[in-house]
Chains A and B, each alone.
Chain A
Amino acid sequence: MSMVLSAVLALLALCLVCGAILGFAAVRFRVEGDPIAEQVNALLPQTQCGQCGYPGCKPYSEAIAAGDKINKCPPGGEATIQALADLLDVEVEPLDAVEGEKPKMVAYIREAECIGCTKCIQACPVDAILGAAKQMHTVIVSECTGCDLCVEPCPVDCIDMIPLDQSLQSWKWELPLPPGQLIATDREQAA
């Protein structure tokens, strides 16, 4: 009888101690927010452009932490994808095809119609619009990411999104074909 009692008591004590340890750890090592999402957010360009399909960089970083693809950020481009791949230890992927095919757009302000309300300046996430109150505004083309966030707030609708012409400064080599399509025998195997 005493053996049963001691066995039950010992197991009970053991369970209590273990429960106390885990309870203490749950309080002591509580994780606030999602640390991965914060690290991802720090790598994103913070243009809040929404081209990834999320309302901003923070929601997209949370989606990446939850397992979404890392190739949906056109403003960040290859460099951001590379940095994200390094951080999360996943494969580098080419920029999402749907987004990648679109020509690079920039905002253009029809300056004769601009009333100088500064609303587009406040909306611009990358500070690419120059101007002051009651003065004409204009877009710095090299800074503009083409996110079209300035189009909506403009009260006189004088902002257009125009494709950026290819110039000597902006021309790049085309990306090579992925390895599976470069070699004829690989193509046959894939087919």
Chain B
Amino acid sequence: MTELALIMVSSILVNNFVLVQFLGLCPFMGVSRKIETAIGLSLATTFVLTLAAMCSYLVQQYVLKPLDIEFLRTISFILVIAVVVQFTEMVVQKTSPLLYRVLGIFLPLITTNCIVLGVALLNANKSDFTFVTATLNGFAAGLGFSLVLVLFAALRERIAIADVPKSFEGAAIGMITAGLMSLAFMGFAGLIRL
């Protein structure tokens, strides 16, 4: 139980995939102008991350490892992630047209989000991970991504109406803000030791 809690805290705060490991920066910068779209993308990413972590763990344990072909990890994980995203898109379109309208453009984008592949590969590297811990790690990575994306979008909405010096307007002040947030999250490093 403590191990599960530690994995949660580690993936959400201490080893936050965006601000500490610097994965998935393009959706972080690109989809953080409005807080509504940020929430939409967060939900979709968390969902896909959890599913992708499960599926890639199963592929790793029951296909790649027994056949001793772990060098095919990257390509098979990409395949699995693409299928998961496409399948999710189809199911959402059928079951909830409104959710599909909100998430629609983001779902295919998630395929190229490096956090998804990053979590799958990191899970595969940890030999002591079970199915439950791998899934939880994916879910926590999604939560961490959601947390920083929504926080960052809220900051950027404030910055958009603030009196920023001409040369810092737009992406420049966004980068600086992201850097400051990253500094703040680095401060969590002393919180726990795994």
Contact = CB atoms under 8 A, between A and B. Distances in A.
B87 A7 contact: no
Contact of A18 (B80, B94, B95, B97): B80
Contact residues of A: prevailing secondary structure: helix
Interface string B66-95: 011101100110011001001100110111
Contacts of A88: 101
A25 B87 contact: yes
Nearest to A26: B90
A14 interface: yes
Contacts of A36: 97-98, 101
Interface residues of B, number: 25
B63 A29 contact: no
B16 to A, nearest CB: 29
Contacts of A3: 68-69
Interface of B: 36, 59, 63-64, 67-69, 71-72, 75-76, 79-80, 83, 86-87, 90-91, 93-95, 97-98, 101-102
For the complex of A and B, the 6 pairs showing the least CB-CB separation, nearest first, are A29-B94, A35-B97, A18-B83, A7-B69, A29-B90, A25-B90
21 contacts: A3-B68, A3-B69, A6-B69, A7-B69, A10-B67, A10-B72, A11-B75, A14-B63, A14-B76, A18-B83, A22-B87, A25-B87, A25-B91, A26-B90, A29-B93, A29-B94, A29-B95, A31-B93, A31-B94, A31-B97, A87-B98
